[in-house]
């Protein structure tokens, strides 16, 4: 009887260990992939939003490093390209630029279509008047920027990704020339084409 009880205990222990190992091998976690890789990337991007009831176009670019296929860190910058007018003085041309550090989480990157969650933390500058953006003028009127966003990414090839997305630009402070007509928070829509380093 004693031998039978010992045998049953060993059998139960072995079965439990086998189940634990199977669970670990088959565990499906959010930020994992079957083929992790590290790669640099370059990504031109185009944003659109509304300023003073007019369409604002923001071309820009990202450059960064993808870690394990599911996380990335990089830099992004974009500027207002089309001609819009400020509140004052005398409805002069309004210029603006934004740049910062970009963090991304990419769950299930091996799927042809998957989500990308990102966060831009940085700053911006605004300028009223002049023929276009000027670094010295932009640097005199600066503000803090926080921009969370999400996108749907399509794997066109192993090295090329296309992702339409949406983000929420939050600005801490007042944007010179837009005090009365432009909110300090804006929703923007974007289209990004990511080129990964083939090496």
The domains of the chain, with CATH numbers, are: 29-196 (2.40.160.20)
Would you say residue 184 has pLDDT above 60? no
Query: What is the C-alpha separation between 66 and 133, in angstroms, rounded?
Result: 31
Mention every residue, 6+ apart, whose C-beta is less than 8 A from residue 97.
77, 78, 79, 80, 124, 125, 133, 138
Which pLDDT belongs to residue 141? 74
Which pLDDT belongs to residue 22? 44
Query: What is the C-alpha separation between 159 and 147, in angstroms, rounded?
Result: 26
Number of neighbours of residue 95 by Cβ within 10 angstroms? 24
Tens of pLDDT along 162-183?
Answer: 999 999 988 876 665 565 545 5
Span 3-21, average pLDDT: 50
Structural tokens at position 101: 């550090």
Which pLDDT belongs to residue 52? 67
Q: What percent of the chain has pLDDT over 90?
A: 40
Would you say residue 190 has pLDDT above 90? yes
Span 91-104, average pLDDT: 85
Tens of pLDDT along 18-35?
Answer: 444 544 455 556 566 667
With vertex at residue 65, the alpha carbon angle to CA 119 and CA 72, rounded to the nearest 5 degrees, is 35
Higher per-residue confidence, 125 vs 45: 45
Tens of pLDDT along 33-67?
Answer: 667 788 999 999 999 988 767 788 999 999 999 99
Which pLDDT belongs to residue 23? 42
Tens of pLDDT along 135-165?
Answer: 666 667 788 899 999 999 999 998 999 999 9
């Amino acid at each position: 009887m004693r031998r039978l009880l010992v045998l049953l205990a060993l059998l139960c222990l072995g079965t439990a260990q086998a189940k634990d190992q199977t669970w670990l091998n088959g565990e499906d976690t959010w930020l994992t992939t079957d083929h992790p890789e590290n790669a640099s990337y370059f990504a031109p991007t185009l944003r659109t939003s509304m300023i003073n009831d007019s369409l604002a176009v923001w071309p820009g670019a990202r450059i960064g490093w993808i870690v394990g296929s599911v996380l990335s860190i990089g830099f992004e910058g974009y500027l207002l390209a089309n001609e819009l007018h400020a509140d004052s003085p005398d409805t002069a041309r309004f210029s603006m630029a934004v740049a910062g550090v970009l963090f991304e989480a990419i769950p299930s990157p091996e799927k042809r279509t998957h989500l990308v969650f990102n966060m831009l933390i940085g700053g911006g500058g605004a300028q009223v008047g002049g023929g276009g953006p000027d670094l010295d003028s932009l640097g005199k009127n600066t503000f803090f920027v926080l921009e969370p966003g999400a996108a749907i990414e399509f794997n066109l090839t192993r090295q090329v990704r296309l992702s339409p997305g949406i983000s929420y630009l939050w600005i801490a402070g007042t944007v010179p020339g837009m005090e009365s007509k432009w909110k300090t928070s804006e929703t923007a829509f974007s289209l990004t084409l990511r080129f990964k380093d083939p090496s």
